[in-house]
Structure 1
C-alpha cells in the first residue's frame, strides 16, 4: 500500500494536463497504455529477480550479484539521486496547487513543505505507515469518485449540461492539433512526448521489492505484490485518463496557459465546467495530500538507499550513523537538502521547473528499469550457460526472456529519445536538454569511475550465483498460498494470481 501511495502522485493529477494538450485524449491514452505495458514487463522481471534473490535493496544488489559490482554502485547512487529531483517536483506542484485558493507567496508554501517533511522523516517516522495508508485511501477514493463523476457528466447527468459522449474525440480531435509541427507528424510528436510524462507518472512502482529481505514469504508475496501494485495503478491511470479525455477538450484555454495555476489540472477543469463549486477544492486538497505523501515516500526511499550504500562501503562511512530510534539522520539530512531545488520555481515559471524536475525523475526511473531488464537477461543467460532449466526458478515470469529484452531496449530508447523536441528547429533549450539527458552521463561516470577505482569486472556467466540462490530457496520452502473457492476465488486468481 505504501508503494501504491508513492506511485500515484502529481504525474496523474497535474502532469496529465500537458499530455492531453499535446497529444489529445486518444494520444494520451495510447501513450500511458504503452508505458503501462512497459511497467508490467518491469514488474514481472523484478518479481522474478526478487523471488530468486530476496535481498534488501532489490535491483541494487541484483546488479552486484548478476552483472557487475560497478553497476550496483552506479544504480545505487541513481536510486539516491532520483528522489533528490522528484521530491522538489512535488513541492513545486504543491505550491502551484495551493495558489488556487490563496495568493500566499510560493516560497512560504515550499518552506512549509520542506520543514514538515523533514520533521516527519527525522522525528515522526513511526507514523509514516499510517500517514501513507490514509493518503493511499484518499487517492483511491478521489480517483473512483472522479471516474464516476466524469461518466455522469459525459452522459448528461449533470443539470444544465448536454450529453457529450465522444464529441471531444471528434472536435478538436482524438490526437489534438499537433505538437511542434502540424499534420500527422505533429500528432505523432504529441503522442511521443507523452511517453516521458507517463514514465514520470509511473515512477516509484518498482519500489515494491526494495524491502524484499524483510518481507514475509518473499518468494510468494513479492510476485503477488508486484502484480497487485501494477494492476491497481494501471487501472486507475487508464480509466481516469479515459474519462477525463471525454469531458475536457485538448484545446481548452486553461490547458494552454503557462501560468502554473492549479486550474490547469484537467480534473479541476472538468469540475469547473460541470459547475460543481466545491469539487475543485476537494480535488486540490487531496492532490496536495497526494503530492506531500509522494514527497515523503521519496525522502524515505532515497535516505534508506543511501544508508544501504554506506553499509556496503559505497558511500561515506558517516552516513551509517543512526539516531536512537534507528533513523539514519545524516542520510535524511542529505536527502532533504535537495528539497531546496524547489525554489528554482521562484525565478522561473513553476510549470517550467516542474517540467525540468519531471524529466530528471523520468530519466532516473528509466535508468533503473534498464538495470532491471539487464539483470533479468543475465540470470537467463547464466542459467543457459550453467545448464539450469528455467523451471528451477522460484517464480518464472511468463514470456521470458522477451519481457527482459523489451524492458532493456525500450527503456533505453526512451532515455535516448525522450528529449527529441529540443532538436526540432527553433526549440533548442539548454535547460530542457540538460534535464532530459543528464542521467546518462551521470550513470556512465558512476559506473566507469567505480570500475576504475575498484578494478571490478563483469561477473562471468558461469559464476553468476543462480544455483546458490535456487539451493537457498529449496532449503527454505514457503507455505503455498491458500486459494479461495467459488466465484470470489476465481475472480481473485484471474485478477491477482
Structure 2
C-alpha cells in the first residue's frame, strides 16, 4: 500500500485496500456528503415550519455541533485511518461491544439512505416526462443501481473522480444561487427590494415558537448528514496526515458559507407562508432554489435545478454504496459479519460487500410501489436520528481517546492533527447534541392524535389516520435508533463477555499511518503564500 512503511502494523480491516484518493477527492467527497437533496429540495420546508429565524437558528446550532464533531473525527482519523473509522474506535478505547453496535447502526443508516435516495430519483426524472407517460417508475432506480455496480467495480479512484466532478457542479450552483440571491434581495435584479421584509410578516421570524423550531431539527440533521464520511475515506487516502485535516478544515468553512448564507437568503426572499416553500411534491419546479432563480429572470431555472438535483441524488447514491461496502468490510474483518464479506480483489474492491449492498438496493425498489414520498419521510425520520446518535458518540469517544492518550503518557504534540477548542468545544457540542436529542424525544411524545369517534365524517377520519401515521413515524424515528443500539450493545456484551478497556492498555498504534519521507515532503508548504491560501479555500 502506497505511503506505508515496514514500521507500520496494519489493522486487519486495512488489508487489501488501495490508497488512491487525492486531496481534491477527499475535500470534494466530504462536500458531496453535505450538499444534496436535503438542501436543494427540502430546505424551504424548514422555513415554512419554523420561520426564517427558526430555520437559520436550527442550521447554525447543528452546524456548531457538527464543527466539533468534524474536529474530533479529524484528530483520530488522521492518526488511525481505519475503514471502519469512528465505528472502530470504541473497540480501541472503550469496549468492543460499542464498536459492534456503532458499526451495525452505521450500516443500517446507509442501508436506509440508499432506498431513500432511489425513491427520490424516480420522482426527479418524472419532472421531464409527459403527464401520460408510461415510463415505469422502477426503471430509473434500476439503471442507477447497475451504474453503481460498474463504478464500484472500477475501484476507489473512479469513485473519487466521479464525486469530485459532481461536487464541482453543486458548488457552482450554490455560488450562482448566492450571487443571484444577494442581487434579488437587494432589488438589483427582479425589480423588488426584499431586504428583511420577510422577517417581519405574520409568523416570522420564529414561526411556531419552540415546537416549530425543534420540529425542523431532524430534517436539518438529515441535510447535514454525511459530513462524517471523511473519516471513512481516510483509509484510502494517499496521505491521511495531510488530506484529512485539510478536508475537515475546508468542509467547516463551506458548511458556514453554503448552508447558513443560503438559508438566510431563502428566508429573506421567500415568505414563510408561500405554499411553494413547502415543496410537498418534492419537485425542482417548486424547490426554494428554483423560486429564487426564477425571480432573477432565469427562465430555465427549473430544468437546470432538476438536472443538478438529479446529479446530487446520483452522487449521494454513489457515496452510499462506497460507505456501506466499507462499513461491511470493517464488520467482516473484525469478526462481526461472515469472513467472506471481507474479501477484496486486486483493485481493492470488497466484492462480496458490494454484492450485499446491491441486493439491499434492489429490495428498496419496493418503496416505489408503496409510495416513494411516504417512504422518503419515514426514512428521513430514522436516518436523522441515527446521524444524531453517531455524532454524540463520536464526541464521547474523542473524550475517551484523549483520556487514554494522556494515561499512556503521550504528549498532545505527538498527534499528527490536534482538534482545536478541545475540551471546551467538545463540551459545548455535547451539550447541544444532548439537548437536541432530548428535544426530539419530547416532540415524539406530545400531542397524540385523538380518535374522532363513531360519528366522525370521512374527512375527520382521513385527518385522524394521517395524524396517527405521523405520530407513529415520529416515535419510531426518535426512539428506534436508541432501542436498537441498546439491544446490539447489551446482547454482544453478554454473549461475548467483553471487558471495559483500561486506558493504559488501549491500542492506539495498530493501523497507525506512518508517513514516508515523500509523504513528509508533500506536507510541507509549496509555492507562494497566495496560492496556498487559494488552495486552502478551494
**TM-score normalised to the size of structure 1?**
0.88
- 1:124-173 deviations in whole A, cap 9, x for unaligned? 866323221110110011111111111222222335x3211111111245
1:58-97 map, 5 Å = 58-97=85-124
The answer for the alignment partner of 1:131 in structure 2 is 162
**Is 1:451 aligned to 2:493, yes or no?**
yes
The answer for the alignment partner of 1:53 in structure 2 is 80
1: distance between equivalents of 2:120 and 2:90?
33
The answer for the alignment partner of 2:188 in structure 1 is 157
2: distance between equivalents of 1:380 and 1:447?
23
8 Å CA contact 2:41–2:283 kept in 1: the answer is no
1: distance between equivalents of 2:41 and 2:51?
16
1:234-313 map, 5 Å = 234-256=256-278, 258-313=280-335
2: distance between equivalents of 1:29 and 1:354?
24
1:327-476 map, 5 Å = 327-339=349-361, 340-341=363-364, 343-348=366-371, 350-418=372-440, 420-425=442-447, 426=449, 429-466=471-508
The answer for the alignment partner of 1:170 in structure 2 is 200
2: distance between equivalents of 1:137 and 1:492?
15
Secondary structure in 2 matching 1:313? coil
Measured at CA, do residues 369 and 471 of structure 1 come closer, stay the same or move farther in structure 2, by a change above 3 Å? closer
8 Å CA contact 2:185–2:195 kept in 1: the answer is yes
Q: How far did 1:420 drift?
A: 3.8
Secondary structure in 1 matching 2:200? helix
Measured at CA, do residues 365 and 173 of structure 1 come closer, stay the same or move farther in structure 2, by a change above 3 Å? same
Gaps of 5+ in 1: 179-186
Q: How far did 1:326 drift?
A: 4.2
2: distance between equivalents of 1:263 and 1:272?
10
8 Å CA contact 2:115–2:367 kept in 1: the answer is no
The answer for the alignment partner of 2:141 in structure 1 is 110
**Quick check: 416-425 or 301-310, which moved more?**
416-425
2: distance between equivalents of 1:291 and 1:457?
42
8 Å CA contact 1:17–1:264 kept in 2: the answer is no
Gaps of 5+ in 2: 1-27, 450-466
- 1:407-434 deviations in whole A, cap 9, x for unaligned? 4454344334325433232355223321
**Quick check: 351-360 or 118-127, which moved more?**
118-127
Measured at CA, do residues 322 and 219 of structure 1 come closer, stay the same or move farther in structure 2, by a change above 3 Å? closer
Measured at CA, do residues 124 and 51 of structure 1 come closer, stay the same or move farther in structure 2, by a change above 3 Å? closer
8 Å CA contact 1:75–1:367 kept in 2: the answer is no
**Is 1:18 aligned to 2:40, yes or no?**
no
2: distance between equivalents of 1:97 and 1:409?
38
Q: How far did 1:215 drift?
A: 3.0
The answer for the alignment partner of 2:338 in structure 1 is 316
Q: 1:201 aligns with which of 217, 223, 238?
A: 223
**Quick check: 477-486 or 444-453, which moved more?**
477-486
2: distance between equivalents of 1:384 and 1:323?
39
Secondary structure in 2 matching 1:74? helix
Q: 2:176 aligns with which of 128, 145, 164?
A: 145
Measured at CA, do residues 415 and 144 of structure 1 come closer, stay the same or move farther in structure 2, by a change above 3 Å? same
Q: How far did 1:386 drift?
A: 4.2
Measured at CA, do residues 475 and 18 of structure 1 come closer, stay the same or move farther in structure 2, by a change above 3 Å? same
Measured at CA, do residues 470 and 318 of structure 1 come closer, stay the same or move farther in structure 2, by a change above 3 Å? closer
Measured at CA, do residues 405 and 337 of structure 1 come closer, stay the same or move farther in structure 2, by a change above 3 Å? farther
**TM-score normalised to the size of structure 2?**
0.81
**Quick check: 322-331 or 204-213, which moved more?**
322-331
Secondary structure in 2 matching 1:222? helix
Secondary structure in 2 matching 1:347? helix
Secondary structure in 2 matching 1:197? helix
8 Å CA contact 2:97–2:498 kept in 1: the answer is yes
8 Å CA contact 1:392–1:470 kept in 2: the answer is no
Q: How far did 1:456 drift?
A: 1.0
8 Å CA contact 2:240–2:513 kept in 1: the answer is no
Secondary structure in 2 matching 1:303? helix
Runs of 4+ in structure 1 over 6 Å off: 469-477, 490-493
Q: How far did 1:273 drift?
A: 4.3
- Corresponding pairs, count: 484
Measured at CA, do residues 376 and 392 of structure 1 come closer, stay the same or move farther in structure 2, by a change above 3 Å? same
Q: How far did 1:36 drift?
A: 0.8
The answer for the alignment partner of 2:453 in structure 1 is none
2: distance between equivalents of 1:156 and 1:133?
35
- 1:237-295 deviations in whole A, cap 9, x for unaligned? 11211222222111111234634444442112323445532111101111110111111
- 1:292-313 deviations in whole A, cap 9, x for unaligned? 1111101111012101221221
2: distance between equivalents of 1:362 and 1:444?
18
8 Å CA contact 1:91–1:295 kept in 2: the answer is yes
